[in-house]
Structure 1
Amino acid sequence: MRITLWIFIFLSTFSIMEFMAWFTHKYVMHGFLWSLHKDHHLKDHDSWFERNDAFFLFYAVISIICFYQWNINDVWFCLPIGLGIFAYGLAYFVVHDIFIHQRFKFFRKANNWYAKGVRRAHKIHHKHLGKTEGECFGMLLVPFKYFKR
């Protein structure tokens, strides 16, 4: 029973993180912390790193707190929550930073229907250079219209 519940919590956390990424992107990154996110849209820097990279720290800290609670205080459900947050962060990094923005030169030839849709949605998001009037703030789940040709 516990392994089934553990898997359910892990998958639920991973799924909820897509909503959290959308919410954070739309209302925090394109909101009151635009000053950290705008270099990602404007490329107004010469460094490989962006101020935008600081956003991963928030969810990394939450994940670490979950691991701590599991390990030190034996709160068993914090492990699948922490791993779900970590797994989503890893997926986000692979899809956004490696696949879409090619910060590392992997997955360059991925050309299936999902890859094309995610790339198309992100390109539409980046066509808006300002804080407002953006669209498609999600990462792994994007509107179906981006999968059509």
Structure 2
Amino acid sequence: MHWSIGILMFLGTILAMELVAYAAHRWVMHGPGWFLHASHHRPRTGNWELNDLYAVIFAIPSIVLLFGGAQLGWWPGCIWIGAGIAAYGAIYFGFHDVIVHRRIATRYLPRSAYMKRIVQAHRLHHVTETRAGAVSFGFLWAPRPEALKAELRRRSHAGVRSARGTAA
């Protein structure tokens, strides 16, 4: 396979993973997988949360494709796709865990309109503490914060957590 085709497959996989992540977040994590994801909508008490198991689960296809393509003689495109999945995971980790949730100390402050929008959309996603009522399930693309706030109002703030220091 020519390397230029591989690069296109790699980049296409990164873009496709945003759709996969959206679907998994909306219909799995906020559905039957809530028993793991609920920990991510509560204040963390320590370095790890049950939701972190999703990183392991989502790494498996990447590992299998990379191993199969590199060691088992599978179609060479498997390597590029597996690398694209891994790259999306790394990008997601940087955005989500480092920039938004500050799980690793950093002095980075979002300055661009894009980064501010992504951070604000994810924070609006986290105003809910239940699996229902959440908005903005993607991560590299997010609706305008004004649209998300309007949607929360339209839903009568269903599932929105109480302000600190007030009774629920």
2:51 alignment counterpart: 52
Contact 1:9 1:81 in 2 (8 A): yes
Percent of pairs with identical residues: 33
Once residues 71 and 122 of structure 2 are traced to their aligned partners in structure 1, the CA distance between those partners, rounded to angstroms, is 40
Structure with greater Cα Rg = 2
Q: Which has the higher helix share?
A: 1
Q: Number of aligned residue pairs: give it.
A: 146
Structure 1: unaligned runs, 5 residues or longer = none
Q: Find runs of 4+ consecutive structure 1 residues off by over 4 angstroms.
A: none
2:110 alignment counterpart: 110
Once residues 31 and 22 of structure 1 are traced to their aligned partners in structure 2, the CA distance between those partners, rounded to angstroms, is 13
Once residues 76 and 29 of structure 2 are traced to their aligned partners in structure 1, the CA distance between those partners, rounded to angstroms, is 32
Residues 63 and 39 of structure 1: CA distance in aligned 2, closer, same or farther (over 3 Å): same
2:101 alignment counterpart: 101
1:133 alignment counterpart: 133
Deviation of 1:2 after TM superposition, in Å, equals 1.3
Residue 6 of structure 2 aligns to a residue whose secondary structure is helix
Q: Which structure exhibits the higher relative contact order, with contacts defined as CA atoms closer than 8 Å and separated by 6 or more residues? A: 1
2:163 alignment counterpart: none
Counterparts of 1:38-49 in structure 2, within 5 Å, are: 38-43=38-43, 45-49=44-48
Task: Give TM-score scaled by structure 2 length.
Answer: 0.82
Structure 2: unaligned runs, 5 residues or longer = 148-168
Deviation of 1:34 after TM superposition, in Å, equals 0.3
1:85 alignment counterpart: 85
Q: CA RMSD in A?
A: 1.6
Output the amino acid matched with 2:85: I
2:10 alignment counterpart: 10
Deviation of 1:109 after TM superposition, in Å, equals 2.0
Residue 19 of structure 2 aligns to a residue whose secondary structure is helix
